[in-house]
Amino acid sequence: MDEKTVINDEDAYYRNSRTRAPFRPQKSGKGSTNWQLKQFAEATLGSGSLRKAVKLPEGEDEGEWLAVNVVDFYNQINLLYGSITEFCSPQSCPEMKATDEFEYLWQDSDQYKKPTKMAAPEYIEHLMTWVQSNIDNEAMFPSRIGVAFPRTFRPLILQIFKRLYRVYAHIYCHHYPVIINLGLEPHLNTSFKHYVLFVEEHGLAQGSRDFWGPLGDLVESMLRSD
């Protein structure tokens, strides 16, 4: 393996003033399909069965299940990273890395046409803004009953999950002592294990050689232990 694996993407970047706040869906009220699916997820998570929690409920639409869960993981990661932002600064984390072996560069079709080095906080802000903008996009995440998800939905979901993983990887590799000191270790580990099992259950890591990279050993351990 090379001394450093540099990874970049070609994704659009959107400015969104709500980047720092947890995403709260405005379109899905109590009694809606999304609300019911989220209740199912919370109930199964509460039972302690993560394997059960990630499975598509019988008779439900896979697109709806992926959409509900990607919002949930976005919220979880936003909260986890938000709890350690004072320890993740351009000075302490001048590169978006997960160990010295993996560095992530940002590229988009507008402002950053070439892969661009960024400090971790800046990269994560771009990432979370991009996820938020896609969730808010009715064309990609339709909320009306009977409106089908577009054919481009699954490729987008694959990209979102791949990018969200990088925040987990950065936290584990560069801020884990802080997580322990704040008493957040159980929350991080449960959230990440839920994420790993969901990705494996729905084949969301297919075709991505670098997907588990820096946390490969931890992922294997989690899969074996469940």
- Residues composing the chain: 226
- Report whether 202 belongs to an annotated binding site: no
Q: What interhelical angle do 62-82 and 33-46 show, nearest 10?
A: 60
Among 81, 189, 172, smallest CA distance to 128 is for 81
CA 218, 221, 223, 225 torsion-angle sign:
negative
Residue 6, strand partner residues: 103
Identify each DSSP E strand in the chain by its residue range: 5-8, 97-98, 102-105
Contact of 176 with 202, CB cutoff 8 Å: no
What backbone phi and psi angles, to 5 degrees, belong to 140? -95, -35
- Report whether 187 belongs to an annotated binding site: no
Binding residue positions: 88, 93, 170, 175
Binding residue positions for Zn(2+): 88, 93, 170, 175
